[in-house]
Amino acid sequence: MLIDSHAHIQDEAFTKDLAQVMERARTAGVEEIICVGFDYLSSCQAVEMARQWPGVYAVVGIHPHDARECTPETLARLFKLAADPRVVAVGEIGLDFYRDLSPREQQRQAFIEQIQMARELKKPVVIHDREAHQEVLEIIKKEKAGRNGGIMHCYSGHLPLAQDLIKEGFYISLAGPLTYKNANKTREVAARVPIDRLLVETDCPYLSPEPLRGKRNEPARVKYVAEMLAQIRQKPPEEIAYLTARNTRTAFNIRG
């Protein structure tokens, strides 16, 4: 069994053929999907996806790109939404200093407030970190963000940072870029991080893996990430599928 630990199947890219996308996922052995919100609307849609589709779980939160939206009123609505039993984490939250689509101070405030919300809910966090590695780590430590567990989504940092994050209670999730030719740093992380701390994801509809890079991504393609991880770890793909699925269920406290 494979689990796609981070997907945006509520994205408008899937409006016309979601049923076929879900069938391809099942055919590829993807039995569970974590559907992740990035603003309030997409978080509501993630919960609806989790209610509609067996094996789908929701994550709700405000992405750093949309930090301006993270008002006290929106946080209160998110808190209510997160009480749904199919919501398994708060996310994706964090800092993005690459695009800077929201002012950095607003990003920091939204990040911290949502970590605090997750702590109160006793749920893990799913973190987006782009070009902000050290500050993300500092906030994680200061706010004890890993108290209830956490996932570093689409990990792009180096090995020492990954090791520091694991000490803080985090899992490292690997996506399509692991399959890219220039992914030496990410492959080192994949090779040396303890296997019980690794997840695989698509981040679909983005970051399609080789050999489908540049095309719309979908949950079925998480198998390419798992196959690359199996190659790096010199293990059978079936074993990597089993281990990463087990880790995902542990990371998100999924029972059943």
User: Apex CA 121: angle with CA 42 and CA 219, to 5°?
Assistant: 40
Beta partners for 151?
126, 171
Task: Kindly provide the b/e burial profile for residues 142-160, where b requires at least 16 CB atoms within 10 angstroms of the residue's own CB.
Answer: ebebbebbbbbbbbbbebe
Summarised one tens digit per residue, pLDDT across range 120-156 is: 999 999 999 999 999 999 999 999 999 999 999 999 9
Grade residue 33 by pLDDT with cuts at 50, 70 and 90. Answer: very high
Determine the pLDDT at residue 233. 98
Work out the angle between the directed axes of helices 133-143 and 104-121 (0-180°, nearest 10).
40
pLDDT at 67: 96
pLDDT confidence of residue 49: 98
Q: What percent of the chain is modeled with pLDDT above 90?
A: 99
Instruction: Give the per-residue pLDDT at 42.
Output: 98
Side by side, the strands of the sheet bearing 198-200 are 2-7, 30-36, 56-60, 87-96, 125-130, 150-152, 170-174, 198-200
For residues 173-187, average pLDDT: 97
- Is 71 a residue whose pLDDT tops 80? yes
2-251 CATH choice from 3.20.20.140, 3.30.750.24, 3.30.590.20, 3.40.50.300 = 3.20.20.140
Mean pLDDT, rounded, for 93-122: 97
Average pLDDT, the chain: 97
Residue 256 has pLDDT above 80, yes or no: no
Confidence at residue 154, expressed as pLDDT on a 0 to 100 scale: 97
Q: Is the dihedral of CA 16, 13, 151, 154 positive or negative?
A: positive
The pLDDT score that the predictor gives to residue 140 is: 98
